Amino acid sequence: MWIADEWKDYEVLATSSKEKLERWGDFILVRPDPQVIWSSPRKHPGWKRKNAHYHRSTQGGGEWEFIDLPEEWSITYKELTFRLKPFGFKHTGLFPEQAVNWDWFAGKIRAAGRPLKILNLFAYTGGATLAAAAAGAQVTHVDASKGMVGWAKENAAASGLQDAPVRWLVDDCVKFVAREIRRGHTYDGIIMDPPSYGRGPGGEVWKIEDDIFALIELTAQLLSRDAVFYLINSYTTGLQPAVLSYLLNTVLVPRLGGRVEAEEIGLPVSSDGLILPCGASGRWESGH
């Protein structure tokens, strides 16, 4: 498992009965986590000192209970700063487990010894974009949500990266990739975090299990001949690391050589030493 264990401003304090107790900077949140199917005594004092609690509804969805939480606050990871705010369906605007991937590709970017062009698809609030830009890459950030792209720009400004070479695009990711292929554009690295389920601008249904292979085949056409890496994340239970590995080995290795690794990603639980699984990632890297 790849573990995001270098955070100072974030930690999973404890887990029990489909919930996790987390510290986000100075604030403690309780949020649902479907992986936590075990029950353990809630001895950690944070359970009683929480600043907010997201309660799942039996009908699906849920709502926040705010006890003492600002509308917005910030945390840092190494040289990056992220603005957080609680919003729909338990989210805060950041997936801390992704830091283990940020460190991996930032190392690849720094080691390349040349400016790299990176494409970040389904780019959300820009964690990966900022990590790549801070490492010296030129980044194209694409997300279909105007609000998320605006939030990512705020994170860039908070991180001192407002003047970094980032293209911020509000666009449908699949349609953007198709246009880039027609234009003959290429990238030295691709980062992709596709949703499990969604709808396109014309109402098209996206289901990751049905569409992910075609999306990898499509995006692979944008990799330059001397591409350095390709990263795909999945929070879909059915897409195990082995499946991501087979997908990347099938599409990328025959075309570009190199090697593939895939693992679960996770976060350490500080009270008991457990590692909380948080999805899976597949990584391709070039052989040169």
CB distance 102 to 123 below 8 Å: no
Q: Are residues 77 and 54 in the same domain?
A: yes
Share of the chain above pLDDT 90, in %: 86
**DSSP 8-class letter at 173:** H
CB distance 158 to 81 below 8 Å: yes
Q: Are residues 110 and 182 in the same domain?
A: yes
- The encoded tokens of residue 217 equal 């085949």
260-287, pLDDT tens digit by residue? 999 999 999 999 999 999 999 999 999 7
240-264, pLDDT tens digit by residue? 999 999 999 999 999 999 999 999 9
Please report the pLDDT score of residue 239 as a whole number: 83
Q: Are residues 56 and 137 in the same domain?
A: no
197-232, pLDDT tens digit by residue? 776 666 766 677 778 999 999 999 999 999 999 999
User: pTM of the predicted model, to two decimals?
Assistant: 0.95
In sequence order, which residues have a C-beta less than 8 Å from that of residue 218 and are 6 or more positions away?
Answer: 174, 177, 178, 181
Tell me, what CATH number does 71's domain have? 2.60.40.1180
148-189, pLDDT tens digit by residue? 999 999 999 999 999 999 999 999 999 999 999 999 999 999
Give the integer Cα–Cα distance in Å for 120 and 101: 13
Please report the pLDDT score of residue 88 as a whole number: 79
Which among 59, 84, 109 is the end of a domain? 84
Q: Are residues 60 and 148 in the same domain?
A: no
Which among 23, 56, 84 is the end of a domain? 84
In a domain, 123, yes or no: yes
* Mean residue pLDDT across the chain: 94
Confidence band for 9, pLDDT divided at 50, 70 and 90: very high
> 143 pairs with which residues across the strands?
170
Give the domain extent around 194: 96-285
Q: Are residues 140 and 78 in the same domain?
A: no
Q: Are residues 100 and 70 in the same domain?
A: no
Q: Are residues 244 and 184 in the same domain?
A: yes
